[in-house]
Structures are given as structure tokens and as C-alpha cells.
């Protein structure tokens, strides 16, 4: 027997670096806009940075119609599909997005890998905006990371759905989280009014659920193996 000490395993697995980088990017944008709004940087111009950011990088549903009418498939405006999740309406708005991103990024990253988390984030953001524009046509800007993090909820739901199926549990229990969130949204919508952003969020969830097998490291078969090992 060897007397060499065995390397200890960390009690808590670290967050995937790409997830941390994504969260820091979102947080940095909000800190910049908040600092400008409070006059800490940018002088008088800083107060309007958030509005300018929304106008320049937020997503607008009429953009989709414009692209199809003009057939401008390579217009730089397409970047809005991927930049709007980084622009938020305030600190509270961004706080919940980052919390979901870090929590789900860790859980999904342990099964699928960090790259899968980032891929799901942007794919869900893209299709969330696409469905939002196609169904609502709402001229109000779509901003914030909720459609993207709802995609992560969809991917996490898929992991639970497969896991429950392999262990003989009721697979519908995997949808508890999304059901709770939609219930909360319905409550606030009835009593305080709501916007059409829920369309983008539900679309993000559905896309996140559907792409999970394709973003998994090693494909669907390896995903099942990793879930069985957990």
C-alpha cells in the first residue's frame, strides 16, 4: 500500500468558467448602465445610456418583418437576437437572471458541460425573440435574459424528465419548476398587468427542452449514461 495522500475531491464542484464569464458580462453591462444613470460616470450623457443601449442592442419585433420584406439576411441588425439578453431594465431585473444563470449553469454544466449551457442560452434567446416577433408583433423592445434562462430551465427539465423516467418516477414532476414560474407570472399578470414577454420566455423554455439532447457532450447516448451515473 502507498502512504501517499490521495487528492481530495472538492465538496462543491466549481462553476463552469464559461458560465461565470457569461454572468460577469451581464453583470458588467448592468454596472456600467447603473453607474451612468447615477451620474458616477459619463456625466450628463450617462443618464441616457440605458435608453441608448435598449435602442441600439434591444430586440424589436418589427425588425423581423423588415428583414423578410427587404430580404436583408446579413444585416448587422441580426446581432440584436443575441445582444438583448445583456440589456436589462434595472438591477432587480438583472439580479434574478444572474441567479438563474449561475444555479442552472452549475446543474446543467455538471451533466452536459459548460459549453452546452452557453449554447442553450444563446439558442433560446434567438428563438425566444423569433417567436415573440412572429406571434405578438409587439413594437415594445424585448430586453433581458429571461428568455435565455428559461431555455436553461427547459434543458434542466429535460434532464429531470429523463432521470425520472429511468428511475420509474412520474416524469411530469420534472415540469414542477416551470409550472411554478408560470403560475407566479399569471398571478402578477392578473393583478398588476403583464407584457407579451412571456411568449419569448415560454418559447425559450420549449427550445431549451428540445435542444438538450443535441448540445450534450457526446450526444444523447452519453447524456443518458451521465444521468444514470448521477
- Mean pLDDT over the full length of the chain: 85
Q: Is position 10 within any domain?
A: no
Q: At 14, list the grid cell.
A: 466549481
| Per-residue pLDDT, 192 | 56
Higher-confidence residue of 121 and 168: namely 121
Confidence of residue 99 (pLDDT cuts 50, 70, 90): very high
Task: Establish if 61 belongs to a structural domain.
Answer: yes
Q: Output the nine-digit C-alpha cell for 139.
A: 413594437
Residue 211 lies in a domain: yes
Cell of 162: 429523463
- Indicate whether 9 belongs to any domain: no
Q: Is residue 159 part of a domain?
A: yes
Question: Does the structure show a pLDDT above 80 at 187?
Answer: no
Write the CATH number for 189: 1.20.1540.10
Report how far residue 133's alpha carbon sits from residue 149's, in angstroms, rounded to the nearest whole number: 19
The number of distinct structural domains making up the chain is: 1
In a domain, 44, yes or no: yes
Whether 52 is covered by a domain: the verdict is yes
Residue 3 maps to a domain? no
For residue 183, give its domain range: 17-229
Amino acid at each position: 500500500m502507498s502512504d501517499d495522500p490521495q487528492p481530495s475531491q472538492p465538496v462543491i464542484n466549481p462553476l463552469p468558467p464559461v458560465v461565470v464569464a457569461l454572468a460577469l458580462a451581464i453583470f458588467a453591462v448592468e454596472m456600467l448602465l447603473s453607474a451612468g444613470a447615477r451620474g458616477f460616470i459619463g456625466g450628463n450623457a450617462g443618464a441616457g445610456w440605458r435608453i441608448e443601449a435598449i435602442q441600439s442592442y434591444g430586440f424589436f419585433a418589427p425588425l423581423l418583418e423588415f428583414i423578410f420584406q427587404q430580404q436583408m439576411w446579413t444585416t448587422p441588425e441580426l446581432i440584436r437576437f443575441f445582444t438583448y439578453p445583456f440589456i436589462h431594465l434595472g438591477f432587480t431585473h438583472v439580479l434574478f437572471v444572474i441567479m438563474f444563470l449561475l444555479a442552472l449553469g452549475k446543474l446543467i454544466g455538471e451533466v452536459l458541460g459548460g459549453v452546452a449551457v452557453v449554447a442553450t442560452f444563446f439558442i433560446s434567446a434567438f428563438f425566444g425573440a423569433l417567436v415573440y416577433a412572429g406571434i405578438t408583433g409587439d413594437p415594445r423592445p424585448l430586453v433581458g435574459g429571461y428568455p435565455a434562462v428559461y431555455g436553461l430551465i427547459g434543458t434542466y427539465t429535460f434532464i429531470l424528465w429523463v432521470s425520472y423516467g429511468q428511475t420509474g418516477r412520474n416524469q411530469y414532476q420534472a415540469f414542477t419548476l416551470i409550472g411554478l414560474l408560470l403560475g407566479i407570472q399569471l398571478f402578477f399578470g392578473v393583478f398588476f398587468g403583464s407584457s407579451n414577454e412571456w411568449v419569448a420566455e415560454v418559447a425559450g423554455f420549449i427550445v431549451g427542452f428540445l435542444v438538450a439532447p443535441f448540445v450534450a457532450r457526446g450526444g444523447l447516448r452519453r447524456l443518458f449514461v451521465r444521468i444514470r451515473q448521477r
